[in-house]
Amino acid sequence: MTDVEPHAPATDAVTVTPADPRYPELVTGYNRRFTGRPDYVRLAASTAHVVDAVNEAVSSGRRIAVRSGGHCFEDFATSPDIAVLLDLSPMSGVRYDPGMRAIEVEAGATLGQVYPALHDAWGVTIPGGTCFEVGVGGHVTGGGYGHLSRRDGLVVDHLYAVEVVVVDPAGQADVLVATREPDDPYRDLWWAMTGGGGGNFGVVTRFWLRSPDATGDDPSGLLPRAPERMRRRDVVWSWDGMSEAALARLIGNYCHWLEHNSAAGTPAAHVWSNLIAMHRSSGMVVLTSVVDDAVPEAEQLLADQFRAIGEGTGLTPASDTQDVVAWMESWMPSYSWPSDPLWRSKHKAAYLRRCFTDGQLATIARYLADPDYSNPQACVVLTAFGGQVNAVRPDATASAQRDSVLKASFSTGHWQARDEDDLHIDWVRRFYRDVYADTGGVPVPGAVSDGSYIGYPDADLADPAWNTSGVAWHTLYYKDNYPRLQRVKQRYDPRNVFRHRLSVRLPA
């Protein structure tokens, strides 16, 4: 094997108890609203460590949860009833496995470790996210998307195999390797890991990545080639003088551009963009658009998008900059959200098949312009989707949303004071509910919406106080794929060892 490891694994697993000074940081999630209090944290550096930890927890009747990067928006790894937290962060190796003819990535690696390892060793990449702190364990099992997804699809579209520690009916841990090969007896487990979400079926310890059309055994040809240079355009509009109507038109134009420019294989599918419509108290609305500069007429593609977005708004940007920068060194790190040990947050998400309705656009503009609420971090993030993602059948992987053009994230951003929790959470709950008022407060799959993204979990979708649609939370996340996920759950986790507030339920 060709090794590219950030650090060598320890000989023995490390156990951290509440008396250990490392404990407070290890049990606190990315969302500082949630802090766990497990009996201990087990830092696993190998699959054998994971097996031991799972067997120990099950035999002692302790609830166990697993964490890779710890970037979860909800309390899936910090719930008060979790007695054992299995932390995979020591498992961060990236290497070529000639036996699998694939690149092996350990599940505790973060995207910030994986991207440079792939790039520096073989000049390849995966179409993952731009927050470097995210761990691949949760990112990949949730589907995995990012700024190259319109070109290359989801990360799971390049997933060849997974290694998973499961628990059999007798309560014993077992190690299974599941591949996408049609005759693999564990292929259903591989399928569940392609968007079924983390913490559902077992502990993923390793992924093997190889594109379906890859041939040969040269690792530099097994995954998409990394761009060399990106053309990036950053546009900022000021809230000064911006009316609600102008903002609604701006957002609507952006959505319509994606609606008409997201077909797989077209030149525009190379363009990825984020429109971050901030609350008025922030003072700005921001567009970032990028395209591989090697794409023919890359500059014109960005110009055409910008012109379409601004049409009829009467808005003049406060700033508009464009540059061509090195992909790995200059562009990628710039979208990694800075860490803050005090941040608290609440996020809600949706897929869009087409543009918001006029009524929804008016509601979005009204909430973002609300003078009675002040939070410079509050926003709607509208992220380009579609392209090659939509070239895959919705049942080919567990990621069911395969004809959407946009992902929306409704967010309070971040705040620091615990006594502000109710204020900010209530605002974003009402905001989301009112945008989707015509479908029971949630994005029910239909002509405009297509459910939500399990990678941005929102426990409110399972709360009848906030989901009055009559459509179950699991339909919003998994659509018609949910019954199959339940069958996988029954086969590989019949004791329901791995569970959280939005986990796949055992069949009745």
In a domain, 491, yes or no: no
**123 and 150 share one domain:** yes
Given 221, 240, 275, which residue is the final one in a domain? 221
**113 and 244 share one domain:** no
The pLDDT value given to residue 342: 66
Q: Which CATH number goes with the domain that contains 359?
A: 3.40.462.20
Q: How many domains does the chain have?
A: 2
- Which three-class secondary structure state does DSSP give residue 205? strand
Tokens of 64: 């166990």
Task: Please report, for residues 187, 192, 268, 315, 405, the alpha-carbon distance to residue 491 in angstroms, rounded to integers and kept in the order given.
Answer: 12, 12, 43, 56, 34
**91 and 134 share one domain:** yes
**115 and 142 share one domain:** yes
In a domain, 367, yes or no: yes
In a domain, 501, yes or no: no
In a domain, 484, yes or no: no
CB 379, CB 279: distance < 8 Å: yes
CB 130, CB 335: distance < 8 Å: yes
Residue 313's closest CA among 367, 247, 360, 257? 247
**215 and 233 share one domain:** no
User: Side-chain half-sphere of 24: how many Cα atoms within 13 Å?
Assistant: 2
In a domain, 178, yes or no: yes
Q: Which residues contact 171 (CB under 8 A, 6 or more apart)?
A: 58, 59, 495
Residue 376's closest CA among 388, 368, 365, 384? 368
Q: Which CATH number goes with the domain that contains 64?
A: 3.30.465.10
In a domain, 490, yes or no: no
**207 and 320 share one domain:** no
**165 and 242 share one domain:** no
**266 and 203 share one domain:** no
**320 and 394 share one domain:** yes
CA distance 14 to 86: 10
User: Which stretch of DSSP H or E encloses residue 208?
Assistant: strand 203-209
The pLDDT value given to residue 5: 41
In a domain, 382, yes or no: yes
**233 and 215 share one domain:** no
In a domain, 441, yes or no: yes
Q: What is the pLDDT along the chain (508 residues), one digit of tens a residue?
A: 333 443 444 478 999 999 999 999 999 888 889 999 999 999 999 999 999 999 999 999 999 999 998 889 999 999 999 999 999 999 999 999 999 999 999 999 999 999 999 999 999 999 999 888 899 999 999 999 999 999 999 999 999 999 999 999 999 999 999 999 999 999 999 999 999 999 999 999 999 999 999 999 999 999 999 999 999 999 999 999 999 999 999 999 999 999 999 999 999 999 999 999 999 999 999 999 999 999 999 999 999 999 999 999 999 999 999 999 999 877 765 554 444 556 899 999 999 999 999 999 999 999 999 999 999 999 999 999 999 999 999 999 999 999 999 999 999 978 889 999 999 999 999 999 999 999 999 999 999 999 999 999 999 999 999 999 999 999 999 999 999 999 999 999 999 999 999 999 999 8
Task: Please report, for residues 53, 69, 402, the alpha-carbon distance to residue 461 in angstroms, rounded to integers and kept in the order given.
Answer: 32, 24, 21
Given 174, 194, 221, which residue is the final one in a domain? 221
Residue 368's closest CA among 316, 309, 432, 317? 432
Q: In what order do the strands lie in the sheet with 319-326?
A: 319-326, 229-238, 284-292, 272-278, 379-384, 406-411, 347-352
Given 221, 253, 277, which residue is the final one in a domain? 221
Tell me the pTM.
Answer: 0.95
**57 and 178 share one domain:** yes
How distant is the alpha carbon of residue 192 from its chain centre? 16
CB 473, CB 461: distance < 8 Å: yes
- Strand partners for 167: 173
**279 and 196 share one domain:** no
- Residue range(s) defining the domain that contains residue 166: 2-221
